[in-house]
Protein backbone atom coordinates (compact mmCIF):
# COMPACT_ATOMS: atom_id res chain seq x y z
CA UNK A 1 0.00 0.00 0.00
CA UNK A 2 2.36 2.66 -1.27
CA UNK A 3 -0.03 5.53 -0.48
CA UNK A 4 0.35 4.80 3.25
CA UNK A 5 3.31 7.07 3.71
CA UNK A 6 4.58 5.79 7.07
CA UNK A 7 6.32 2.48 7.57
CA UNK A 8 3.92 0.79 9.97
CA UNK A 9 2.35 -2.30 11.47
CA UNK A 10 -1.39 -2.97 11.43
CA UNK A 11 -2.88 -5.76 13.55
CA UNK A 12 -6.63 -6.19 13.27
CA UNK A 13 -8.72 -7.18 16.28
CA UNK A 14 -9.38 -10.91 16.40
CA UNK A 15 -12.55 -10.44 18.44
CA UNK A 16 -15.77 -9.71 16.58
CA UNK A 17 -18.24 -7.95 18.86
CA UNK A 18 -20.69 -5.15 18.34
CA UNK A 19 -19.46 -2.91 21.12
CA UNK A 20 -16.67 -2.36 23.59
CA UNK A 21 -12.91 -2.37 23.28
CA UNK A 22 -12.86 -4.45 20.08
CA UNK A 23 -14.22 -1.37 18.25
CA UNK A 24 -11.18 0.65 19.35
CA UNK A 25 -8.03 1.13 17.30
CA UNK A 26 -4.95 2.00 19.34
CA UNK A 27 -2.56 4.36 17.57
CA UNK A 28 0.82 3.33 19.00
CA UNK A 29 3.41 6.12 18.85
CA UNK A 30 6.96 5.28 19.90
CA UNK A 31 9.58 7.47 21.55
CA UNK A 32 12.83 8.75 20.07
CA UNK A 33 14.81 5.91 18.54
CA UNK A 34 11.86 3.54 18.49
CA UNK A 35 10.22 1.64 15.66
CA UNK A 36 6.77 0.53 14.64
CA UNK A 37 7.16 -2.69 16.67
CA UNK A 38 8.26 -1.22 20.01
CA UNK A 39 4.86 -0.68 21.63
CA UNK A 40 2.84 -3.53 20.14
CA UNK A 41 3.19 -5.82 23.15
CA UNK A 42 2.20 -2.96 25.44
CA UNK A 43 -0.84 -2.26 23.28
CA UNK A 44 -1.94 -5.88 23.65
CA UNK A 45 -1.67 -5.60 27.44
CA UNK A 46 -3.59 -2.32 27.60
CA UNK A 47 -6.39 -3.44 25.28
CA UNK A 48 -6.26 -7.12 24.26
CA UNK A 49 -9.33 -6.76 22.04
CA UNK A 50 -8.28 -3.62 20.18
CA UNK A 51 -6.93 -3.19 16.67
CA UNK A 52 -3.38 -1.78 16.59
CA UNK A 53 -1.93 0.76 14.15
CA UNK A 54 1.71 1.58 14.78
CA UNK A 55 3.64 3.92 12.45
CA UNK A 56 7.36 4.67 12.56
CA UNK A 57 8.37 8.32 12.76
CA UNK A 58 9.95 9.60 9.56
CA UNK A 59 12.34 12.19 11.01
CA UNK A 60 15.86 11.01 11.79
CA UNK A 61 17.96 12.51 14.59
CA UNK A 62 21.44 11.01 14.64
CA UNK A 63 19.96 7.93 13.03
CA UNK A 64 17.09 7.67 15.53
CA UNK A 65 13.48 7.80 14.37
CA UNK A 66 11.25 10.60 15.65
CA UNK A 67 7.88 12.01 14.66
CA UNK A 68 9.11 15.62 14.37
CA UNK A 69 12.28 17.67 14.60
CA UNK A 70 13.59 19.37 17.70
CA UNK A 71 16.16 22.12 18.00
CA UNK A 72 17.40 20.99 21.42
CA UNK A 73 16.19 18.86 24.32
CA UNK A 74 12.65 20.07 25.00
CA UNK A 75 12.82 22.75 22.27
CA UNK A 76 10.69 21.79 19.29
CA UNK A 77 10.81 22.93 15.68
CA UNK A 78 7.22 24.19 15.66
CA UNK A 79 6.96 24.52 11.90
CA UNK A 80 8.06 20.92 11.47
CA UNK A 81 5.81 19.78 14.32
CA UNK A 82 2.75 21.32 12.65
CA UNK A 83 3.67 19.82 9.27
CA UNK A 84 4.30 16.36 10.72
CA UNK A 85 1.12 16.46 12.82
CA UNK A 86 -1.03 16.99 9.74
CA UNK A 87 1.03 14.43 7.81
CA UNK A 88 0.25 11.88 10.54
CA UNK A 89 -3.43 12.84 10.46
CA UNK A 90 -3.50 12.23 6.70
CA UNK A 91 -1.86 8.83 7.22
CA UNK A 92 -4.48 7.88 9.82
CA UNK A 93 -7.28 8.82 7.44
CA UNK A 94 -5.69 6.81 4.60
CA UNK A 95 -5.09 3.82 6.89
CA UNK A 96 -8.71 3.86 8.07
CA UNK A 97 -9.84 3.67 4.45
CA UNK A 98 -7.30 0.98 3.54
CA UNK A 99 -7.87 -1.28 6.54
CA UNK A 100 -11.55 -0.49 7.07
CA UNK A 101 -11.45 0.52 10.73
CA UNK A 102 -13.56 3.23 12.35
CA UNK A 103 -11.39 6.33 12.75
CA UNK A 104 -13.90 7.81 15.20
CA UNK A 105 -12.87 5.17 17.74
CA UNK A 106 -9.11 5.73 17.67
CA UNK A 107 -7.18 6.15 20.92
CA UNK A 108 -3.54 7.23 20.86
CA UNK A 109 -0.97 5.56 23.09
CA UNK A 110 2.22 7.62 22.96
CA UNK A 111 5.52 7.59 24.80
CA UNK A 112 7.77 10.66 25.03
CA UNK A 113 8.14 11.97 21.44
CA UNK A 114 5.15 9.85 20.47
CA UNK A 115 3.12 11.27 23.36
CA UNK A 116 4.00 14.78 22.24
CA UNK A 117 2.81 14.29 18.67
CA UNK A 118 -0.33 12.61 20.02
CA UNK A 119 -0.93 15.72 22.13
CA UNK A 120 -0.29 17.86 19.05
CA UNK A 121 -2.91 15.82 17.16
CA UNK A 122 -5.43 16.47 19.92
CA UNK A 123 -4.71 20.20 19.97
CA UNK A 124 -4.40 20.71 16.20
CA UNK A 125 -6.81 18.14 14.73
CA UNK A 126 -9.20 17.63 17.66
CA UNK A 127 -11.65 15.26 15.95
CA UNK A 128 -8.89 12.81 15.05
CA UNK A 129 -8.73 11.01 18.41
CA UNK A 130 -11.38 9.64 20.77
CA UNK A 131 -8.90 9.60 23.64
CA UNK A 132 -5.23 9.30 24.51
CA UNK A 133 -2.78 7.66 26.87
CA UNK A 134 0.27 9.91 27.13
CA UNK A 135 3.42 8.66 28.84
CA UNK A 136 5.96 11.37 29.80
CA UNK A 137 4.45 14.16 27.66
CA UNK A 138 4.84 17.92 27.67
CA UNK A 139 2.85 20.70 25.99
CA UNK A 140 4.13 20.54 22.38
CA UNK A 141 2.49 23.74 21.13
CA UNK A 142 -0.17 26.30 21.94
CA UNK A 143 -2.90 26.17 19.29
CA UNK A 144 -4.08 29.38 17.62
CA UNK A 145 -7.68 28.34 18.28
CA UNK A 146 -8.59 26.31 21.39
CA UNK A 147 -9.71 22.84 20.29
CA UNK A 148 -13.11 21.38 21.12
CA UNK A 149 -12.30 18.32 23.25
CA UNK A 150 -15.46 18.06 25.31
CA UNK A 151 -15.30 14.94 27.53
CA UNK A 152 -12.45 13.35 25.54
CA UNK A 153 -10.69 11.05 28.06
CA UNK A 154 -6.94 11.49 28.47
CA UNK A 155 -4.52 9.71 30.78
CA UNK A 156 -1.23 11.49 31.49
CA UNK A 157 1.46 9.43 33.20
CA UNK A 158 4.50 11.38 34.40
CA UNK A 159 7.73 10.30 36.09
CA UNK A 160 8.44 11.86 39.47
CA UNK A 161 12.20 11.87 38.79
CA UNK A 162 12.04 12.53 35.05
CA UNK A 163 15.20 14.46 34.03
CA UNK A 164 13.74 15.37 30.62
CA UNK A 165 10.18 16.52 31.31
CA UNK A 166 9.64 18.85 34.26
CA UNK A 167 6.43 18.60 36.28
CA UNK A 168 5.53 22.15 35.22
CA UNK A 169 5.68 21.12 31.55
CA UNK A 170 3.33 18.20 32.15
CA UNK A 171 1.00 20.47 34.12
CA UNK A 172 0.88 22.94 31.22
CA UNK A 173 -0.36 20.20 28.90
CA UNK A 174 -2.93 18.97 31.42
CA UNK A 175 -4.21 22.51 31.95
CA UNK A 176 -4.46 23.11 28.20
CA UNK A 177 -6.41 19.88 27.64
CA UNK A 178 -8.74 20.55 30.57
CA UNK A 179 -9.42 24.10 29.41
CA UNK A 180 -10.41 22.60 26.04
CA UNK A 181 -12.95 20.32 27.73
CA UNK A 182 -10.99 17.05 27.93
CA UNK A 183 -11.45 14.75 30.92
CA UNK A 184 -7.86 14.43 32.13
CA UNK A 185 -6.55 11.88 34.62
CA UNK A 186 -3.04 12.59 35.86
CA UNK A 187 -0.80 10.10 37.61
CA UNK A 188 2.84 10.31 38.67
CA UNK A 189 5.02 7.24 38.91
CA UNK A 190 8.04 7.06 41.26
CA UNK A 191 10.30 6.68 38.23
CA UNK A 192 12.38 8.55 35.68
CA UNK A 193 11.61 9.09 31.98
CA UNK A 194 11.59 5.37 31.20
CA UNK A 195 8.35 3.41 31.04
CA UNK A 196 7.58 1.01 33.88
CA UNK A 197 5.22 -1.90 34.43
CA UNK A 198 3.27 0.38 36.76
CA UNK A 199 2.66 2.74 33.82
CA UNK A 200 1.32 -0.08 31.68
CA UNK A 201 -0.88 -1.49 34.43
CA UNK A 202 -2.33 1.94 35.21
CA UNK A 203 -3.06 2.45 31.51
CA UNK A 204 -4.74 -0.97 31.29
CA UNK A 205 -7.04 -0.21 34.22
CA UNK A 206 -7.83 3.29 32.95
CA UNK A 207 -8.58 2.04 29.45
CA UNK A 208 -10.95 -0.63 30.76
CA UNK A 209 -12.81 1.97 32.80
CA UNK A 210 -13.11 4.41 29.91
CA UNK A 211 -13.76 2.23 26.87
CA UNK A 212 -14.95 -1.24 27.78
CA UNK A 213 -18.72 -1.68 27.67
CA UNK A 214 -19.87 -3.89 30.56
CA UNK A 215 -21.58 -7.14 29.63
CA UNK A 216 -25.13 -7.69 30.83
> Which residues belong to the active site?
112, 162, 193
3-state secondary structure of 168: helix
* DSSP H or E run through 181: none
In whole angstroms, give the CA distance from residue 163 to residue 88. Answer: 28
* DSSP H or E run through 34: none
Contact of 106 with 126, CB cutoff 8 Å: no
* DSSP H or E run through 59: strand 59-61
Partners of residue 9 on adjacent β-strands: 54
Amino acid sequence: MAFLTFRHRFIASQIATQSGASNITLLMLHGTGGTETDLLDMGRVIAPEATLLSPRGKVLENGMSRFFRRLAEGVFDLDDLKLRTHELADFITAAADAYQFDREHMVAVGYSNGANIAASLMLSVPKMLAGAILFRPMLPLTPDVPPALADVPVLISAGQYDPIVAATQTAQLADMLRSSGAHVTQITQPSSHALTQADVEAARVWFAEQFTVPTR
